[in-house]
Amino acid sequence: MIIDGHNDLALTLWEGKEPIHVDLAAAEEAGFAGGFFAMNVPSPGSLAFDAVPYALPLSSEIPFEEAARITDELYEVLVGLPVRIVTSVDDFRPGSVGAVVHIEGAEAIAPDLSNLESWYERGLRSLGPVWSRPNAFGRGVPFAFPASPDTGPGLTAAGVELVRACNRLGILVDLSHLNAAGFWDVASVSAAPLVATHSNAHALSPSTRNLTDRQLAAIRDTGGVVGVNFAVTFLRADGLHLPDETPIEEIVRHVDHLVELMGVDHVALGSDFDGCTPPQALDDATKVPALLDALAARGWGDDDLRALCHRNWLRVLAVTWR
């Protein structure tokens, strides 16, 4: 059973595009039991990772009213999919696809948090305070390579209250896309395990989107989890956008680093399918078993593979959701 930390299928369908990486019926047959289905209000324009070094500009803040409208539309796309909305770890079952409702970038949450509980009632169980652009709750980490994730100030006062409210309700707080100051603000406030649903090791690929060894150790020390991102630009040491020249072993390299530093109980999958460009050999959800085969060839046993594929996510969600 494979549980994945991030996909952008709902956004792809909302934009009127054909999914690239996630065919739900085919993925289900390949052991995909679902995971975190993101709702993300897109920024104007597109991101180009074609050359390094890069420092990509981001849009200004998205107004709450616009973000709320678009997120409502994304939610309707998500609940219209042939998936089970997951609000308990028992909702994940082999042979069917379960979806954790995840807001990526909290622009759709009112700064006074007045609609957070209504979103919880609609099934929201995971939230990233920011995507990479700034909002009322904090600042995301802009896309740059090579560069540090320490790019500016952290959470606002509203962001601190958002983390506390998520803890109270039992909503996972996702550290992916936060800058370093925001990361440490969450770490100082949150009573739940620290989680980055789709991030990699900065020591191996110095993108702002990746986590330093100090950040990874902090996640480990709270009993948290990092979901390994399949985006080639966050995997490669040179940061280049070369999917046809990036082997699965680049993902294995990051898994090895995370396991060496954190232990196998703190590493999971966080593909970013339909929101990134993965290695060509892993360009849809049905091919994830090829990654597991590569790990097995390096001596991974069945118990460790189960931890990576689903057990670590289930453990953290059970603690966080209470």
Q: What is the arithmetic mean of pLDDT over 284-290?
A: 96
**Per-residue pLDDT, 74:** 98
Q: Is the pLDDT of residue 73 over 80?
A: yes
Amino acid making up residue 128: G
Backbone torsion region of residue 179, taken as left when φ is above 0, otherwise alpha when ψ lies between -120 and 50, otherwise beta: beta
Mean pLDDT of the chain: 96
| Residue appearing with tokens 């989680």 | 195
Does the predicted model carry a pTM greater than 0.75?
yes
* Domains along the chain with CATH numbers: 2-321 (3.20.20.140)
Q: What is the arithmetic mean of pLDDT over 282-292?
A: 96
Q: What is the pLDDT of residues 139-191, one digit of tens each?
A: 999 999 999 999 999 999 999 999 999 999 999 999 999 999 999 999 999 99
Q: What is the pLDDT of residues 95-138, one digit of tens each?
A: 899 999 999 999 999 999 999 999 999 999 999 999 999 999 99
Q: What is the arithmetic mean of pLDDT over 241-263?
A: 98
Q: Angle at CA 242, nearest 5°, toward 241 and 248?
A: 115
Q: Is the pLDDT of residue 45 over 80?
A: no
The CA-to-CA distance between both ends of the chain, in Å, stands at 22
**Per-residue pLDDT, 277:** 97
Q: Is the pLDDT of residue 44 over 90?
A: no
Q: Both tokens of residue 174?
A: 């996702």
